[in-house]
């Protein structure tokens, strides 16, 4: 059964959906996000979910999280990596609907790390396309009723966005929802992260941070980097 972990203290706050990297899990990402959550937990709740497909451990998972399996990916081995699998699409829809049922509020933001950024960007892209289609046709898309994302956060990400239902003809549409993009200058996929930002997002709505880091969130020795990411998130939320 797929696991979901909610991090909350006190009354319900605006919630961010958190999507882990490939070959990890909700539990591991919850731990990896600990320092950033401390900076933001007075403002947001955080919801972590497992991707639907079990996998081998991803990069930098072993040996620290060797006993923390199972591990998951958003696109299964052998599947078309340019298409959102139906299992992933259905999981996201259930998660968003459940968020409204349990709290009365949709997610205000989505945050992804590594492979999770493809899914996070796809959610923003799908929402914008659905809104545009509704405005044109004057008909509300039932699948979008649980979606009202105000911003996205992309940590060491990679293209392309994987939108749940977006027609192929619309894949080139750039995302204008405000977003924070974090590049690790020592990360082997740093250029992919820049490509996700430059090729798929309107630049006037982007906040780009370049940190002297590898393919991981800032650790305890780089608390200033954590503070920079937190400030960028709070800034876009203040203007959402």
| Catalytically annotated residue among 20, 200, 215, 216 | 215
Spot the catalytic one: 114, 130, 200, 207.
Answer: 114
Please pick, among 45, 50, 130, 187, the residue that the annotation labels catalytic. Answer: 187
Residue 114 is among the residues annotated as catalytic for this protein: yes
Is residue 130 annotated as part of the catalytic site, yes or no? no
Phi, psi of 18 (to 5 degrees): -110, 125
Helix axes 115-137, 190-200, angle to 10 degrees: 0
Cis ω for the linkage preceding 232 (within 30 of 0)? no
187 is catalytic: yes
Residue 23 falls in which region: left (phi positive, over 0), alpha (psi -120 to 50) or beta: left
Please return the burial class of 104, using the count of CB atoms within 10 Å of its CB with bins 0-12, 13-18 and 19+: exposed
Whole-number Å distance between alpha carbons of 226 and 211: 10
Catalytic (active-site) positions: 114, 187, 215
């Amino acid at each position: 059964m797929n696991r979901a972990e909610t991090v909350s203290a006190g009354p319900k706050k605006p919630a961010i959906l958190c999507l882990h990297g490939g070959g990890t899990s909700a539990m591991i990402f919850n731990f990896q996000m600990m320092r950033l959550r401390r900076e933001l937990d007075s403002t947001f709740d955080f919801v972590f979910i497992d991707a639907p497909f079990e996998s081998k451990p991803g990069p930098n998972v072993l040996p620290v999280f060797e006993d923390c399996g199972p591990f998951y990916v958003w696109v299964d081995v052998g599947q078309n990596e340019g298409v959102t699998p139906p299992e992933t699409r259905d999981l996201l829809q259930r998660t968003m609907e459940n968020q409204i049922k349990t709290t009365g509020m949709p997610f205000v933001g989505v945050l992804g790390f590594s492979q999770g950024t493809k899914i996070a960007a796809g959610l923003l892209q799908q929402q914008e396309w659905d809104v545009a289609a509704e405005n044109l046709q004057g008909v509300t898309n039932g699948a979008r009723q649980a979606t009202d994302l105000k911003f996205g956060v992309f940590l060491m990400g990679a293209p392309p966005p994987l939108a749940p239902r977006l027609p192929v003809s619309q894949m080139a549409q750039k995302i204008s929802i405000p977003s924070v993009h974090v590049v690790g200058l020592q990360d082997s996929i740093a250029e992919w992260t820049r490509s996700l930002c430059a090729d798929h997002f309107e630049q006037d709505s982007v906040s780009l941070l370049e940190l002297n880091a590898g393919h991981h969130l800032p650790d305890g020795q780089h608390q200033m980097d954590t503070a920079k990411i937190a400030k960028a998130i709070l800034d876009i939320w203040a203007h959402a």
